[in-house]
């Protein structure tokens, strides 16, 4: 076989392999959603539905999937997310050991990624909270006998990206607490039994969702 013919055959084989790969890739991605993974630390191991993936861009069937990120000396994090609703998944292993914190000090670029994910998560959390609980934008309410503030929920079980809300009431008398409850119902138009309500120096009240 001459060099010219050999070159033709080589080009033909390369074209066939390229076309085959292109077709196979498109077939494998048919009906799937492109999902971007933002991972910290960047070298952390990622499992999707129990299967290890290397790429930060994957194609998944619509619906909920379970993502787990883990890294040595970091605490693993599990995220259950519907990629049909949000195709960007934030995955950050939690630095809770001295070794993990030391790793971040030695690798500031990794710490930057972690901070970026934290910032995006907080932004999403604020947006979701505002959408779920629009009355929070009207707080604080401060009147003569009581004040109502937005606070961190202590008992709610947060699942699947949902966000909980809590209201803290400062009142020195039963009369003030009664006025605060009336304000919640009449001015904010909310049912105090669907969120956590905490009175100053008193246990949670009203909330009925259970532990």
pLDDT in tens, 126-173: 777 777 778 888 888 999 999 998 877 776 655 444 556 788 899 888
- Ramachandran angles phi, psi of 56, nearest 5°: -90, -5
Res 28: pLDDT: 54
Query: Cα–Cα distance between 147 and 140 in angstroms, integer?
Result: 7
Spans of the chain, pLDDT less than 70: 1-14, 16-29, 155-164, 201-211
Report CA torsion sign: 24, 83, 124, 93. negative
Task: Assign 3-state DSSP to the chain and report helix, strand, coil percentages, each to 5.
Answer: 35, 25, 35
The whole-chain average pLDDT of the chain stands at 81
Q: 34 pairs with which residues across the strands?
A: 59
Res 98: pLDDT: 92
DSSP, collapsed to helix, strand or coil, labels residue 91 as strand
Query: Cα–Cα distance between 177 and 168 in angstroms, integer?
Result: 11
């Amino acid at each position: 076989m001459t060099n010219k013919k050999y070159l033709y055959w080589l080009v033909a084989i390369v074209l066939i392999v390229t076309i085959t790969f292109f077709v196979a890739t498109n077939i494998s991605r048919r009906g799937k959603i492109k999902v971007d993974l933002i991972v910290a630390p960047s070298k952390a191991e990622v499992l999707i539905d129990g299967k290890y993936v290397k790429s930060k861009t994957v194609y998944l069937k619509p619906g909920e999937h379970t993502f787990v990120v883990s890294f040595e000396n970091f605490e693993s994090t599990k995220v259950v997310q519907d990629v049909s609703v949000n195709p960007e998944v934030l995955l950050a292993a939690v630095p809770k050991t001295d070794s993990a914190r030391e790793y971040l000090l030695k690798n500031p670029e990794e710490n930057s990624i972690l901070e970026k994910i934290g910032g995006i998560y907080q932004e999403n959390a604020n947006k979701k909270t505002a959408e779920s609980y629009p009355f929070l934008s009207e707080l604080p309410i401060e009147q003569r006998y009581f004040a109502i503030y937005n606070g961190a929920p202590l008992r709610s079980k947060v699942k699947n990206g949902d966000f909980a809300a809590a209201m803290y009431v400062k009142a020195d008398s039963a009369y003030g607490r009664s006025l605060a409850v009336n304000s919640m119902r009449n001015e904010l138009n909310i049912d105090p039994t669907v969120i956590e309500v905490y009175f100053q120096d008193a246990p949670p009240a009203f909330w009925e969702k259970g532990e």
